[in-house]
Amino acid sequence: MAERKQSAVSSGQTHLPIPAFDPPPKPKRNKYAMACSFLASMTSILLGYDIGVMSGAIIYIQKDLQITDVQKEVIMGILNVYSLLGSAAAGRTSDWIGRRYTIVFAGAIFFAGALLMGFATNYAFLMVGRFVAGIGVGYALMIAPVYTAEVAPASSRGFLTSFAEVFINFGILLGYVSNFAFSKLPTSLGWRFMLGIGAVPSIFLALGVLAMPESPRWLVMQGRLGEAKRVLDRTSDSLEESKLRLSDIKEAADNCDDDIVSVPKQHQARGVWRDLLFRPTPAVRHILMCAVGIHFFQQASGIDSVVLYSPEIFQKAGITNDTDKLLATMAVGFTKTMFILVATFLLDKIGRRPLLLSSVAGMILSLVGLGIGLTIIEHADQKLIWAVALCMTTVLSYVAFFSIGMGPVTWVYSSEIFPLRLRAQGCSMGVAANRVTSGVISMTFISLYKAISIGGAFFLYAGIAIIAWVFFYTLYPETQGKTLEEMETFFGTFFKWRSTMRALEEKKAESNGQLQLTTTTTTTTTTTNQSQN
């Protein structure tokens, strides 16, 4: 009898599963969250198209309007400075009217700017168009990553947030294609078509975004918890994750459990700038340093000089025909787009840090190689085919390494590390740093290479990239797989973040161990009771 009972117990233990030890199934990609992120990120096409199209259009603008090199630098880079106004206003606007309508607003502004540039009759008119388009670009740059980070589940947040960088690259490629397509038109007509045609996608983008739901975090900030719950149920990997996300958001937003809550507008903005800039906690100070730093180094390492001035670089490398320069520039756009697609699938698999550090290391090598090639060509008495090939190869490898890490990680990382209450304004500060740096780099490139040689300019960018690598290695924790609400716990110890993360992981492992022990004990007791019965 005792043997039969023991056998029954043993048999029960064999057939009854122990949930604590079962590996969690890998969640499938949430198609609804992916569709929302896809639509929101498409606004980034606006910036990409403007960057790409201006690199080729400026050749014909300079011929048609007879502008100087200084005016050329200004018209190329001024949009980045103008976009500061858009990104600065986007944080408050998105907290006021919501993330979704802010994206629609961005598309409408860019539509007006593209039309103004297309119908420009002189340099001053063209600058007005650049100003309006810049405001729209600033709005789009800030809001798309924020919306996507707030909608996406933690398991695929890196993949979905990187869509913004994918569409920037796709926009750049479209701009290059537009340059080539309209280059055969009369000079005075071709560049106007190149710039004006950018108004078309903004119409479809604004209409498509209306089909998206509002951000659940913004809904909670408004006290509309019932609506937030419905959005979270559709954008989470499971109902359990949805409940957990809603609980975390409510805790972060200081909201209550009712389905409808009236939240005063002044309460939302009160103290945000104080907590962000004037009296930040160590964690917020660390987060702000990382967000602003990654945006600064993304641009200071020279990406806009390569993308905007690639026809100029290829001319210095020995490619003098306009059509050949545009074809070589299209190769740059194609390479950038292909490698950003690779990066989107790696962000949630191998993490942000490995991609970022390997990307910057590759950029350093490419910049050094490009500097060497251009310096040799500049001092050579005859055309050196191998040096031209080196320049072409290093330009392509530079944009490939940038796209596989530095490009997408910047937007993913900066949009996911801020606490909910500070996220919109914090991200707008990161975008502001990005646009200021981009404006300075793009508006000084010609003057810089005339002062220190074109090879020297790329050696300078390589030096900045080396400083960036050290900065990222020492100060940036890994954020892969962490929820937005627990992110703040990994920051605040600056250079000692590794020991903080180890302590948190040990604490989590200890809690999981206790949970597993409790579950195992409960399961064994239940099985024994069943066998005895």
Residues 187 and 121: their CA atoms lie apart, in Å, by 13
Write the pLDDT tens digit of every residue in 448-503: 999 999 999 999 999 999 999 999 999 888 877 776 666 777 787 777 777 777 77
Three-point CA angle 221, 222, 223, nearest 5°: 90
Which distant-in-sequence residues (6+ apart) come within 8 Å of 4 by Cβ? none
Q: Which residue has the tokens 């910049």?
A: 367
DSSP bridge partners of 339: none
> Measuring CA to CA, which residue among 461, 440, 454, 456 is closest to residue 73?
440
Higher pLDDT, 36 or 522: 36
Q: Which of 216-220, 411-415, 470-474, 491-495 has the lowest mean pLDDT?
A: 491-495
How far apart, in whole angstroms, are the C-alpha atoms of residue 103 and residue 202? 10
- Give 139-154 pLDDT, tens digit per residue: 887 788 788 878 878 7
DSSP letters, 108-176, are HHHHHHHHHHHT--SHHHHHHHHHHHHHHHHHHHHHHHHHHHHHS-GGGHHHHHTHHHHHHHHHHHHHH
Q: Within 271-351, where are the H helices? A: 272-273, 282-300, 303-308, 310-316, 322-350
The residue assigned the tokens 């039969």 is 4
Amino acid at 55: S
CA-nearest of 235, 253, 46 to 155 is: 235
% the chain with pLDDT above 70:
84
Could you tell me the two tokens for 350? 């191998």
Cβ atoms of 472 and 357 within 8 Å: the answer is yes
List pLDDT tens digits, range 237-276. Answer: 888 888 888 887 777 665 454 554 444 444 445 577 787 8
Instruction: Provide the pLDDT for residue 60.
Output: 87
Query: According to the model, what pLDDT value does residue 532 have?
Result: 57
pLDDT per residue as tens digits for the range 433-445 = 888 898 899 888 9
User: Environment class of residue 87 by beta-carbon count within 10 Å: exposed (0-12), middle (13-18) or buried (19+)?
Assistant: buried
CA-to-CA dists, residue 81 to 106, 304, 411, angstroms: 16, 13, 19
pLDDT at 402: 94
Question: Residue 380 burial by CB count (10 A; 0-12/13-18/19+): exposed, middle or buried?
Answer: exposed
Using alpha carbons, select from 201, 200, 169, 182 the residue that is nearest to residue 59: 182
Interior angle at CA 393, CA 389 and CA 399, nearest 5: 150
pLDDT digit string, tens, across residues 191-210? 899 888 888 878 887 788 77
